[in-house]
A and B are shown apart, each in its own frame.
Chain A
Amino acid sequence: MKRSITRLLMAPSVIMLLVWMIIPLSMTIYFSTIRYNLLYPGQNNFVGWMNFEFFITDPGFIPAVSNTLILLLSVLIITVVLGVMLSALIDKPFFGQGIVRVLLISPFFIMPTVNALIWKNMMMNPVYGIFAWISESLGFEPIDWLSSYPLVSIIIMVSWQWLPFAILVFVTALQSQDTEQKEAAQMDGATGWHIFRYLTIPHLARPIAVVVMIETIFLLAVFAEIFVSTGGGPGYDSTNLAYLIYNQALLQYDVGVASAGGLFAVLLANIVAFFLIRAVGKNLTV
């Protein structure tokens, strides 16, 4: 009896997710094998691997793949490393801790489109932006961030959004750390660095795994920041896979090539997920 009831309870979730996965995916697979350009209706003949060839030989392909991975890795490293360091530093109670927490978490709630607009216009603008004003006050030439360092600009925006999240997770985790253990180590003459390295870092293994997993899910699909701020440019300098496929589908109306690109993105995400789940799975006991 139990077995059938549990299946019944799980059925809606499983069936809906299956449908959500299978229908669009099979349509994408079908589209990727036909000529399908919205500008030339009625010419939808079978073309085999041609769309894949077009996508892979597109001048934007290699930059898009490398930008996707660079963006993912940089933001992961920045948020985890800075997150661990900052949270270790602000772990102890101090005046106004509650307000500091509130301020720190805020960027996480800012929508990606607004995030991009604030940074593009008010921070990084080479004439009126805060960065330009700071560098001029210090006697340097202002930098046109979005056109000179487009990918770095995107990395800054995305890291700004996710660093608070990492800090908060780590601070929360640190508060459950055994203080007696730390004090005992101090008594035995351990330095701050030793305590950090041998007690704090191991204690944070699981939270780090959680942060890496959640961020990866969202970072592989970064779109709004690029769409709003750089439009993938200049050239392909800040185009990631998501943006390249979007460009093929909705700006060049080539559904066939975009579908081939979509399948490639699925493949890449699964490769990343494979390593990720292996690395993180150990820390996430089901």
Chain B
Amino acid sequence: MTLNQQRKLKTILTGLFAWTVALVLFFPIFWMFITSFKTELQAISVPPSLFFEPTLDNFRIVQERSDYIHHAWNSVVTSFGSTIIALVIAIPAAYSMAFFPGKRTKDILLWMLSTKMLPAVGVLVPIYILCRDYGLLDSKTALVIIFTLMNLPIIVWMLFSYFKDLPKEILEAARMDGATPWDEVIKVVLPLSVGAISSTALLSIVLCWNEAFWSLNLTASDAAPLTAMIASYSSPEGLFWAKLSAASTLACAPIVIFGWFCQKQLVQGLTFGAVK
């Protein structure tokens, strides 16, 4: 074999290996998707069947039984709402810490991250009681507030890492041209960080969409997002695999497809921009 042939063979082997790993890891999702088109009998047939006549019945039943649209709307409102609020609060903070760092900036950042170390379950009871006393149980408002605070530290961190890497010269040039701090933010910093802000927003939306602890414990039916709806299918009487798969597929599809389109930005976002 020549060196060139060797290299080609290596590429093919690497490719085969990568595809195998990817397909194995993806298999459970594929199987959930396939099962959602089966009848209940086909879903539990042994050996598992890969070829069958697909049916849409499960999706119809899920919509009838649990009003998918209602829960999906709750997921959309809570994840987008809290993300927007968190961004509005976090952008100024990250901006000021990145461009005008003080002696305690590092301490403040680490402290913010340490609030993420506060286990949710440790404060579940007080939050539950506060929500009960203020009539916020089973309300989207409560979830939006909690999701906002839950993701705020991570959002500040991510934006901070991006802002910090912006070339300072551009800002200085703007200042020389007589830009006020307000102009600086609106006309220079924000346009330069559209990518950063959107990847931060994406991550926040994914985390909120999939959040289960607070939505399971604080909502019943009115405000229950998709995570809570799915949990109702795990009870013994709801144990029908095909319907369960259909409900799961419906709950995950929006965010998985969303994630596929934004995976590159997400990785950068998730790593505080530390990995390029």
- For residue B63, CB closer than 8 A to chain A, the reply is no
Chain B min CB distance to A52 (Å): 14
Q: Mark B75-112, 1 if CB is under 8 A from A, else 0.
A: 00000000000000110110111001010011011101
* Contact bitstring A143-181, B, C-beta under 8 A = 1, else 0: 000000000000000001001110011001100100000
Given contacts A25-B118, A176-B276, A270-B117, contact A92 B251 (CB under 8 A): no
> How far is the CB of A124 from the nearest CB of chain B, in Å?
10
CB distance from B263 to the nearest CB of A (A): 5
Per the CB 8 Å criterion, the residue count for chain A at the interface is 100
Once A114-B252, A224-B227 are accepted as A-B contacts, the answer to whether A262 and B119 lie under 8 Å apart by CB is: yes
Q: How far is the CA of A100 from the CA of B123 in the complex (A)?
A: 40
Please tell me if A47 contacts chain B, counting CB pairs below 8 Å: no
From the candidates A13, A207, A266, name the one contacting B156 in the complex (CB within 8 A). A13
Whether the pair B92, A90 counts as a contact (CB closer than 8 A) is: no
**A89-B14, A114-B248, A172-B271 given. 11 additional CB < 8 A pairs?**
A6-B97, A9-B92, A10-B96, A10-B97, A99-B22, A101-B263, A109-B259, A128-B241, A133-B47, A269-B117, A269-B119
Q: List 21 A-B contacts (CB under 8 A).
A: A9-B96, A13-B92, A24-B127, A25-B118, A31-B126, A96-B15, A103-B22, A104-B25, A106-B29, A110-B29, A114-B230, A122-B241, A130-B31, A133-B46, A133-B47, A160-B28, A172-B267, A223-B213, A227-B212, A227-B216, A284-B274
The B110-135 residues at the A interface (CB cut-off 8 A) are 110, 112-127, 129-130
Are the CB atoms of B227 and A249 closer together than 8 Å? no
How many A-B residue contacts, CB cutoff 8 Å?
A: 293
Please list the residues of chain A having a beta carbon within 8 angstroms of any beta carbon in chain B: 2-3, 5-7, 9-10, 12-14, 16-17, 20-21, 23-25, 27-28, 31, 86, 89-90, 92-97, 99-114, 116-119, 121-123, 127-128, 130, 133, 137, 160, 163-165, 168-169, 172-173, 176, 206-207, 210-211, 214, 217, 220-221, 223-224, 227-228, 241-242, 245-246, 249-250, 255, 258-259, 261-263, 265-266, 269-270, 272-273, 277, 281, 284, 286
Q: Does B23 contact A (CB under 8 A)?
A: yes
4 pairs of A and B residues whose beta carbons are closest in the complex: A262-B122, A94-B15, A24-B123, A27-B126
Distance (Å) between the CB of A196 and the closest chain B CB?
A: 15
Q: How distant is A272 from chain B, measured CB to nearest CB, in Å?
A: 8
- A102 nearest CB neighbor, chain B only: B260
Q: Does B188 contact A (CB under 8 A)?
A: no
Of B47, B48, B124, B152, which contacts A262 at CB under 8 A?
Answer: B124
**Consensus secondary structure, chain A interface:** helix
* Nearest CB of B to A92, in Å: 6
B48 touches A130 (CB 8 A): yes
Cβ of B29 to closest chain A Cβ, rounded Å: 6
Knowing A5-B181, A100-B18, A122-B35, say if A106 contacts B259 (CB, 8 Å).
yes
Inter-chain contact A123/B105, CB cutoff 8 Å? no
User: A20 CA to B148 CA in the complex, in Å?
Assistant: 11
Give bound CA distance, A21 to B150, whole Å: 11
Chain B nearest Cβ from A230, distance in angstroms: 11
Contacts A107-B29, A223-B212; A13 near B267 (Cβ below 8 A): no
Interface residues of chain B: helix, strand, loop or mixed (majority): helix
Q: Which of B11, B129, B255 makes the CB contact (< 8 A) with A109? A: B255
Using an 8 Å CB-CB cutoff, how does the interface string of B211-244 with A read, 1 for contact, 0 for none?
0110011000000001100110110000101001
The CA of A217 and the CA of B114, in the complex, are separated in Å by 9
B93 in contact with A100 (CB, 8 Å): no
Chain B nearest CB: distance from A187 CB in Å? 14
A31 and B241 CA atoms in complex are apart in Å by 42
- The smallest beta-carbon distance between B222 and chain A, in angstroms, is 19
